[in-house]
Chains A and B, each alone.
Chain A
């Protein structure tokens, strides 16, 4: 089929992107290493305000490329990137009573968990709805070159062996790409990385969208002429590129990131053979754990390098849940580090517009000297970040559960709840440990446990109950 030949080369670039970025999910917490040592780690369950006037969390702009990081960062840090010393944002009102601080942080904690639940749920809903309605994504139509061994073997042992081999190949590809990315980043080949990310976004936003749209139209038997199709796909893709790589409204950026994660997950669901998919999911979680937590893990090194350089995160690989909003505070005492920050447009803040370029003159307005009288209220909206790879692998798990079950919704729902609980636990751990954490292991483990147990144990029980109309 035509599609199959074309997509090999596309998959290469996608895999490059996927391999590096989506292999590992990481939740990181942006701690500041500002010279003032004012802002130390902030966790979701800790004080949101920065104690003293200078709140800067240095943007822990880790190179998120190649890692899926959910990060807690103070929004201030965003604008604090390489700017001058007098740009700083005060977050929080200094001198607040500690009880109030903690209360605020607890509220932030639960709110941020929900801010991640919603996009993860949306991505899963899109994937499950597509899987259940569009048959294209459940048809077996060949495999990726990264999983060369077929699973159509007569014996169970052979099939298992093949899936393990497929997993080994896939994981080694991912590891190789991550290391390649770390090397590129270390040697500051930003243009190359930038170009690579743009290429893969282009593929996702144009080609995969075109294919997806084609299949959906086929399923519902709707005719669409080529000019309309071209216009639609062009607009969708162009706006997507702008939103993701440059500036755009936060909600639109989030929506595009969710859509590209869903598209990528659908590709994986279609092209990964059954058993390989499950083994790969398990192996990716283990790799994620190792890569993020071990001292010599590539992701950890990446984050540390990025922190040393105080560089921004690559856009297009991280989903960010909140806007940076900083309202400037007029200092009553102008002499003390007195600089004002103007309120920024939330949109400008959150779009990561460039990779590693130190100056953001187009993003941050230079603060105008203003009158020191009067105090504006300071607010800091802290956001959580989750890497796109997390979205992709969560959706792959739930999508596979929806695809392979015998029309069984219970399995899908059980996996969904398990993943959400895993995410909740991971965020709780993030609050406790306050450092970069992998977001895949707990959720995927729960998801896998619940998939296999629901499919084999709960399903027969519930089916028997339903057929006798018994309720428990």
Chain B
């Protein structure tokens, strides 16, 4: 075990070290040489296919899974199956020994029982296995991530090939819209921009050129990576790494090595199996010992020890709820299906419940909480701030028009689709997110003119693209009258710096202190709201100085860039998705902590958080943290604790840079003491650290993510949630669940479903376990009192695998008892799926009740046939002898066959008694607290299952042939009335019990029976 672990860790380290690429450093000629390729000719076909064989296809190998048959074999020995195997083997041993002893009259009963037990294990295992496989199959459809076709130069020809066949040294041609098919070094570029968000999570287009600019492969300008997408321009490149060797491939590989935790429900099931197993084995052994002792005392141990084994089998079979694991699987599957209708695709069945146990959600900001769509929020023009929603209702003046014109023209954003009739929101666009936002906004404001027409009117002559040093971009246009117009857009403070005048109310005024103050107030206000602010200014160039044939030089600007006229500010924000604030509120009322992890600036992050969550305190302790990242021990634990008590400030913003400097204990402190935490400026990989901190605090953590770098955190989380639309393949593979609509609100429905299924599984188990006692008690009385066996193993299996199954499954459809989103998430240490109280309730309260009803019926039937209860004591030895006649109370002699027929009737009656009282049990298990009157009978599946159970038991009891195989006799109507009485009694009793619990929520009855 530890050896294996060590090896894993070594593997992990190796994978981490390997992240060194040097191909981008060497001169390009040298690279051609070493890769034996040529930018014009490309590889020839033979060489390409040789390399394909050598390096393998260009795709990510899915994480290695154990072979299917191996998994299946393992599942054969999971849980209760071991007990069942023991039972089955014991049956065969018993059969062989008995068969050897009595050669002529071989009794095949035990052999059949052995076969049936083995078959039960096989069938339930196959079923469970199939269900789990099926839900995994859904994921196969996500396999395709790389573009199916890619343009390469091979054998001197430009051709399209499958991206899978791409090899190192191939020359590839990339155009906007493509996904980068491998790790590629750029040879030629033409306005080439890529979006690395699938790798880094940062949704910004970055320029890529043939120059080597940085040693770090992720930073250098001349590399593009597998899985990222081309957003602008085109390029020619040389493939340097393919498939699993790519950066993305390695991260994916690393992800598969991150250890995952057992899901909470798996832990619960394990705990449950442990409990039932303990009860089954200890009872089995106890009664094995008792029966062996009685045999020993009567001196018949030598011949009859084998009978003791039969009891042992009986006790185990009675104790093991054979149908419960398939039932749980089905319940989870049904919920998973329901969730996928609500846009939560569940990859791993058990994750269905995990979401319900979740106490912390670490959510991305971008795309999950927000729409991932920059939208213009405010304008500052004419010295006033306007909301973008109401600006069109405001009277326009020349200043506003000029600002809009500037915004429309000074932009590189474009609509892909030239059809101006489709609404803007549905049209695909090219360009930077904020430019697109402005373009869409302006396009709406300019109506009836559109951006395109305006641009046609004022043709762009030249431009200076945005540059991070100067932080502005400039465009020069020729107006219809031939005059040139210079437009500038950029960081507001830089823009203002270059302006001497400002356009207000259609007038041009000089910028004075008053104007500057107004500007500062507006800028700070907008910035404080976390909005991205851009400034705009223009200058109409003097037609004398700049005649129509003037040549503008953008490298050595031969035109003015100072003393421009300031037009205004436009601010943008990525607004919260509709429904998200409500969803967050729901989470908080459900006791789930929502932690925002974002790459954004703390102010933006805070703004979004307070936008999304009402209670996020404005006084969050962000300032002192962001301000002084150098002081490591910022949170002195004592004073902070004091602060917490005094101010009740439970919100904090943690800066990513700062996060790295925090010690583990400090992070733990934050995790423990703050209700609302925002991690800003974090890299996706820091999520792992955050997740681990929350898990240390005993939280069950859900993590959302879409980038490849998120994958380790998704894996580490108790439930990783990937984004269906923006998410990368690797993140989807690492996740347990995929949000098909990328919407945080979908998580909340998931939480609700998860909690519901936990409650309902509890009820389902309580229902199923109850019948264990009436199944077990006959064997116990058989051994201790020596009465003829009142209930057969066959009949037990009829209940466990027949009549109990559908009702147990129908609990999956049971509506919630109370508002499950109003209570805190369950404590995984205390609120178990199955606890001793549930066992007490099921076994000792209702189970014993059922057993008593069953025994009453048994004794009654026996008495009506001439065997009053007292004559039954210690009758079993005589009763089971084939060649004996047994006298009854009327001195009639019963031969073996008649006795067995009578017993068959008793078994049938006992079976029916259990089925009947299980009816009541089903109805009372619908609620744990409420009356059935409040709960209602709306669960039609459950209602149908009642009918089904009745029909099935009738089928078992009365169909000729079936009842002889099952060895259950048909019963008379008069006998059937007795369990009906018991049924009503159980029903009434439990209604009263729950009424008492409601009346005295902390009383004895609650503490002894509420599960």
A and B bound?
A: no
